Amino acid sequence: MNNIFILRKDIDPWIKRMAEERTVFAPVHEGDAVVYRACDSGLRVELDTMPTTSPKEIVFPQNETLLTYTRGSGNEDGSVGVETTETLPSGKAVIFGTRPCGARGLLIFDQVYNNERIRDAYYAARRENTLTITIACNRPRPTCFCNSVGGAPDDSKGSDIMLYPLDDGFVAEALTSGGEELLALAPSSPAGEKAVKAKAKAGQAIETMGSPMDLSEVRKKFDLCFTDLAFWEKHSGKCLSCGICTYLCPTCYCFNITDEGSEEKGKRLRSWDNCMSFNFTAEASGHNPRSAKAMRLRNRIGHKFVYYPELHEDRLACCGCGRCITACPSSVDIRNIVKAVQEYSHE
């Protein structure tokens, strides 16, 4: 499909047309934050600011009911049955206005929850019925480092449509058949020379980010500094273990399961969990293999830059969005920690 041009004033009509058949989630302002919300009438979609939250919450909700249960009446043999009902998600959705790092984060989830060996029915149902419309970044933030982890401000991986911004509108390009169907609903005109200008502008954005970090030695050096607790205590000293880094991260996918209700009736919930929390690895015996904050931070770095790549064909479990840096109340910078690992020596 050829590139088309969509005026900014035509974005809302386009969203309304998509919303006739799909729930459209788009970034909107709530206080000082920009968060994804279902596009109801009257919401102003934010097109120029990177969302505070990540799009993972749309396919992997912060809290979801997996099933409900009801205790049955007693049987003749004295046993009591329990009836369970799964609550699998239904319906189609669109993630509108994510950035390339957010779309890339969904690919990290796919390797864990929807692959040849494992298919999480809840995640897969949402993921397979969700299309992603991504806006290329013309002005990366100082905390962005996607160019260090294999991404770019105009990276199209994981997207169904790419939007390249100009002052008066967006050059749009469909990348999948689903994207073509959505783009056919947009009021548009041929992009012509605007396509060249918009894509060049997006491509130049990477030049403002500086040189990418050298990560070639991180996995080897991580093994060397693994047992150096003083090293990890130094870099975790400012951390409050609040977990905001994990909640905003597009690639963090850990969860906990709880049952709520009574013995007679209730529901089973899945909720995001936080590897920086003291209780994350606490065992029923009382033992906690990561009782120290330094150990938990070590695991967070190790998972993203060592363990996940070892399991998934050298892909990093970090998309370089910088949300963890921007939102950290004590200014912990993951880039500095990874750099310190890269430069680690026994001396």
Range of the domain at 193: 1-61+88-210
Long-range contacts of 257-260 (CB under 8 A, 24+ apart): 257/66, 259/69
pTM comes to 0.93
SS (H, E, C) 173-204: EECCHHHHHHHCCCCCEECCHHHHHHHHHHHH
Answer yes or no: is pLDDT of 235 > 70: yes
Residue 78 inside a domain? The answer is no
Share the mean pLDDT of the chain: 93
pLDDT for 228 equals 96
pLDDT at residue 176, rounded to an integer = 96
158 with 44, same domain: the answer is yes
- Domain boundary, last residue among 176, 210, 244: 210
Specify the 3-state DSSP secondary structure of 42.
coil
Could you tell me where the beta strands, DSSP code E, fall in 18-62? Answer: 23-30, 33-38
Residue 76's pLDDT is what? 66
CA pair distance 325, 246, nearest whole angstrom: 11
What is the spatial distance between Cα 132 and Cα 111, in angstroms, rounded to a whole number? Answer: 18
b/e map of 157-176 (b: 16 or more CB within 10 Å)?
A: ebbbbbbbbbeebbbbbbbe
CA distance 259 to 268: 4
Q: Are 182 and 131 in contact (CB under 8 A)?
A: yes
Residues 257 and 139 in one domain: no
Q: Does 187 lie in the same domain as 220?
A: no
Q: Is residue 67 part of a domain?
A: no
Residue 268 β-bridge partners:
67, 259
**Is 73 within a domain?**
no
Please give the tally of structural domains in the chain. 2
Among 210, 236, 254, residue at a domain's last position? 210
Q: Please indicate, yes or no, whether residues 124 and 222 belong to a single structural domain of this protein.
A: no
Could you report the per-residue pLDDT of 34-55, keeping only the tens digit for each?
999 998 756 789 999 999 999 9
pLDDT of residue 40: 74
Tell whether 176 is covered by a domain.
Answer: yes
- The model's pLDDT over 120-152, given as tens digits with 9 standing for 90+, comes to 999 999 999 999 999 999 999 999 999 999 999
- Residue whose token pair is 């050059």: 171
> Which of 210, 233, 250 is the last residue before a domain boundary?
210
How far apart CA 286 and CA 289 sit, in angstroms, is 10
pLDDT in tens, 296-336: 999 999 999 999 999 999 999 999 999 999 999 999 999 99
Q: What is the CA radius of gyration of the chain?
A: 22
The answer on 253 and 150 residing in a single domain is: no
Longest dimension (CA), the chain: 78
Same domain, 183 and 47: yes
Structural domain includes residue 75: no
Query: For residue 115, what are the contacts with CB-CB under 8 A and spacing of at least 6?
Result: none
191 pLDDT higher than 70:
yes
The sheet carrying 130-135 orders its strands as 33-38, 23-30, 93-98, 130-135, 161-165, 169-174, 4-7, 189-190
Give the model's pLDDT for residue 231: 97
For 60-112, write each residue's pLDDT tens digit: 999 999 999 998 776 666 677 888 999 999 999 999 999 999 999 999 999 99
Q: Which strands form 80-86's sheet, in the order they lie side by side? A: 80-86, 63-74, 265-272, 255-261
CA nearest to 66, candidates 87, 90, 84: 87
In a domain, 82, yes or no: no
> DSSP code of 114?
B
**In terms of domains, do 182 and 300 share one?**
no
Element (H, E) at 172: strand 169-174
Whether 110 and 17 map to the same domain: the answer is yes
Q: What pLDDT was estimated at residue 213?
A: 95
CA nearest to 208, candidates 132, 285, 158, 146: 146
